[in-house]
Amino acid sequence: MAVTPETQRWDRLFAVRTQGGADDGIAAILAFLGMPDLISFAGGFPDPLTFPRERASALLEEFAASGEASAFQYAPTRGLAGPLDALAARLAALQGRRPADDELLITSGAIEALELVGKSFLDRGDVVVVEGPTYLGAIMAFRSFEAEVVAVPLDEDGLEVDELERLLGAGLRPKLVYTIPDHQNPAGVSLSLERRARLVELAQRHGFLIVEDVAYRELGFDDAAVPSLWSLAPDAVVQAGTTSKTFFPGVRLGWAAGPGRIVSQLVSAKQNTDQCAGALGQRLFEEYVRRGWIDEQLAVSRALYRRKSERTLTALERSMPEDALWTYPRGGFFSWLTLPDGADADDVARRAVERAVAVVPGSLFFPDGRGGGDVRLSFSLVDEAAIDDGIERLAGLLT
């Protein structure tokens, strides 16, 4: 945002912790989406084709006709009993472990779960390890508590746990290690089973908490699921989940599952943020799960995103110069494109917009300015029929 006497007047009063600059990042991505005729590989948004319009509308009518009050009322901070039970049963079915009553909290989206973890654990200067690259919202959430965010690289098997171990050996003492083990945002890679076991072992040895973000876990393109970190080590992991990609983000609904002592601290932290996640969304989600509709929709959504991913990868193979590299996701919304040597991602992203294509430059996904030669491609929202054209226009800037 431009600095004017008017903005300066208020900037002087803003808290010191708001200075840092990354906060404009997500807003910049969202701003792209408004351009007409843009082929956007920018925002990691779900495809509106997956939104349960009729079913949501039928459920609303049912709630109104039945005279039920709970969907329209304030909810307990931890969540309504029915939605908590439906979610716990779902975690048991999908991850092989049912959280006990004190181990689960319904949040206003996964981002709030991260915010509550930050609020509960982080003092100024505390170290949080993230993957480099990682989800921009997480970097921003941890930074808002004045944490030092340190990025450990990842490769096609996810977080480089060897490198984390080396840093721990050299004296790094993180309170939290934040990871997105399944179909990662932004790199599209997944953490191997062997690395999951080693990461858990490191957490137990060094006493840090693993914050596992499972935003894309249910969106695998095939049925090969690796155990979640939380199911492997429920004593060392808080899992942050979201319904945004499997239901719809308009309800802002997610969860935190972890050790009872931690979850009760998160519940306290939530009491003075929004007090409770919206009851209406909780009830809609509960019914969507109980009637089996979520599984029906998931099968359709996974097939849709798989088609879009395949089309994107094929277009990349056809049109990118030989020295460009990209990841091959097995689920989720993203592929990470490493540009040919010397190409500057900010410059490419700027010139792409002039050709009505949007991508996000890689440096936004690092806390330390790396990523200058990479861009994130999100295929989730782009119209299937426009993918080939979009990738060709992008490749045209690189050859």
Ligand X SMILES: Cc1ncc(COP(=O)(O)O)c(C=O)c1O
Binding site for ligand X (CB under 6 A): 44, 109-111, 135, 137, 180, 185, 213, 215, 242, 244, 249, 254
CA dihedral over 161, 167, 171, 174, signed as positive or negative: negative
Nearer to ligand X (CB atom), residue 238 or residue 320: 238
Residue 217: φ, ψ to 5°: -55, -40
Cβ(30)–Cβ(43) under 8 Å? yes
Least Å distance between CB 380 and ligand X?
10
State which residue, 231 or 242, has the beta carbon closest to ligand X. Answer: 242
Question: From the CB of residue 15, how many other CB atoms can be counted at a distance below 10 Å?
Answer: 8
Q: Could you give phi then psi for residue 118, rounded to 5 degrees?
A: -60, -45
Q: How far is the CB of 343 from ligand X (least distance, A)?
A: 25
Q: What is the 3-state secondary structure (H, E, C) of 340-390?
A: CCCCCHHHHHHHHHHCCEECEEHHHHCCCCCCCCEEEEECCCCCHHHHHHH
Smallest distance from ligand X to CB 180, Å: 5
State the minimum distance, in angstroms, from the CB of residue 107 to ligand X: 8
Q: From the CB of residue 98, how many other CB atoms can be counted at a distance below 10 Å?
A: 16
SS3 329: coil
CA distance 170 to 338: 30
Shortest distance, position 85 Cβ to ligand X, whole Å: 20
Nearest to 181 by CA among 225, 213, 149, 151: 213
Q: Write down the least CB distance from residue 244 to ligand X, Å.
A: 3
With beta carbons less than 8 A apart as the criterion, state whether 136 and 364 touch: yes
For residues 106 and 78, the answer to whether their CB atoms sit within 8 Å is yes
To ligand X, the closest distance from the beta carbon of 225 in angstroms equals: 17
**H-helix or E-strand spanning residue 11:** helix 5-11
Q: What minimum distance in Å lies between the beta carbon of 253 and ligand X?
A: 7
Nearer to ligand X, 137 or 234 (CB): 137
Q: For residues 154 and 14, what is the distance between their CA atoms, to the nearest angstrom?
A: 35
Least distance between ligand X and beta carbon 68 (Å)? 25
Nearer to ligand X, 25 or 320 (CB): 25
Q: 137 or 371: whose CB is closer to ligand X?
A: 137
Nearest residue to ligand X on Cβ basis:
109
> Which lies closer to ligand X via its Cβ, residue 77 or residue 380?
380
- Give the residue with the Cβ less far from ligand X, 251 or 337: 251
CA dist 189 and 376 (Å) reads 12
By beta-carbon proximity to ligand X, the closer residue of 133 and 234 is 133
Residue 232's Cβ-count burial label (10 Å; 0-12, 13-18, 19+) is buried
In the bound state with ligand X, the residue whose beta carbon lies nearer, of 221 and 355, is: 221
